[in-house]
Amino acid sequence: MLALTDRSESDLAMHALAQFCIDGEPVAAQRFRRGHIQRSYVAETGTHRYLLQRLNDQVFPELEALSHNVAVVTDHLAGKGLADTAARPVRSLGGGLLWWQDPGNAGAGVWRCLHFVDETESHDLCDSPERAFAAARAFGEFQQALADLDPGLLQPTLPDFFDPIVRHRQLETARAQASSARLDQAQSALGFVDGNTALIQTWEQLVDSGSMPDRVLHGDTKLNNVLFRRESVEAVCVVDLDTCMSGWSGYDIGDLVRFTAASAPEDERDLSKVFTDLDLYRSLVAGYLTGARFLTKSEVQAVPLSSQIVTMTIGMRFLADFLNGDQYFAIDREGQNLDRARVQFRLVESMQERVQDLCDPLPASVRAAARELIAL
Ligand code: GN1
Ligand code: MG
């Protein structure tokens, strides 16, 4: 028998699986490459499959708060008979917590277990307007189901996570501390941010106007956080509740547009391939408004602005991380975070080129106000 510290991480995943309320005995686990933050494994017993995640406690030092938020959200869904709207967490043995840590071996990590949703697949690129519609409706319905949940019940696990002003400030700090080699490489990306601070100010004015209520957000509405029935455009459920927190509803639709209407992968190197696809955008807006029926007029009219500001914000986060030496987002190659940032800025530019078209899919009653908002 190997000492825990000698085990490979997939053995640790199997060991961790046995600490949760599962059906059967763990028999195998293998790495499942998804996301930039947590490390995931698919682990099986003879009869069931589970998703085991080794939690990144650098990013989420408040594990109780993270677990609390997931429990509040999934319990709320279950209370409405909607437990299958999101991937279901499995409680640990004894403690009933949604995570487990070996008390005798802190180096073996902190683990979480979820039911694996069989016969599904995820997509990194959107292949049709139908898929865009289905993904957006799934996230809209998720928000709808949580619209009567008091956002104050969720803890701010990642303070200021969605705030473009704070993200801009963090980028400036990273710029001030970066090596000259990285600064040189990042020059044009930084120039884009410097030339677009008006966008951040517009967002600030909107929030200051007090018209944006606090909502429970999913907070990471990428297309690949929706599971689709295999070889179909049927959305089965949403996954990754790590960033469920209180925030501005526009964040979720904005992130959805950023990722799902993009013509190319998040880290595409050839920027000539990158643009925001307006057909996909139209389907996203239609799907989202079909699902999220609670939205006020002010929130709906902010959709085009949200799409730009969230894309800009995540671009600033990638860029800050590149300048900081890639400490936050996992990378497979040098320069990947800079490429990710450049793609986001190219997407913002592409939205700005067609800025009035972004208002067309909105209901006629808010179109004029939406145009005014982006013209600010
Ligand atoms: C991270 O790890 P993943 O892919 O679930 C990040 C999101 C970013 C996203 C960009 C906790 O999500 O905020 O939008 O990368 N999650 C966290 O792809 O920072
Ligand atoms: Mg995530």
For 328-359, write each residue's pLDDT tens digit.
Answer: 999 999 999 999 999 999 999 999 999 889 99
- Atom index in ligand 1 nearest the CA of residue 158 equals 11
- Residue 54, classed as helix, strand or coil, is strand
Under DSSP, the state recorded for 87 is P
Which ligand is nearest the CA of 37, by number?
Answer: 1
Cα 209 to middle of ligand 1, angstroms: 29
- Atom index in ligand 1 nearest the CA of residue 328 equals 19
- Residue 179, classed as helix, strand or coil, is coil
Cα 35 to middle of ligand 2, angstroms: 6
By the 8 A CB rule, do 247 and 214 touch? yes
By the 8 A CB rule, do 34 and 120 touch? no
- Residue 247, classed as helix, strand or coil, is strand
Query: What would the DSSP string read from start to end of 260-287?
Result: HTBSS-TT-S-GGG--B-HHHHHHHHHH
- Residue 36, classed as helix, strand or coil, is coil
* 100-101/120-121 β-pairing: unpaired
Mutating to test ligand 1, I would choose from 33, 70, 222 the residue with most ligand atoms within 8 A of its C-beta, which is: 222
Cα 368 to middle of ligand 1, angstroms: 33
Nearest CA to ligand 1 atom 5: 35
Please report the pLDDT score of residue 96 as a whole number: 76
Q: Which residues line ligand 1 (CB under 6 A)?
A: 35-37, 59, 220, 222, 240, 242-243, 266, 314
* 102-122: pLDDT as tens digits: 888 888 889 999 999 999 999
Q: Given pLDDT bands bounded at 50, 70 and 90, which one contains residue 376?
A: low
Nearest CA to ligand 1 atom 8: 220
Calpha distance 363→17 (Å, rounded): 48
Question: What contacts 259, CB < 8 A, 6 or more positions away?
Answer: 221, 222, 223, 224, 266
- Ordered alpha helix ranges (H), 27-87: 63-79
Q: For the whole model, what pTM was predicted? A: 0.94
Please report the pLDDT score of residue 7 as a whole number: 63
Give the angle 354-348-140 at the CA atoms, nearest 5°.
85
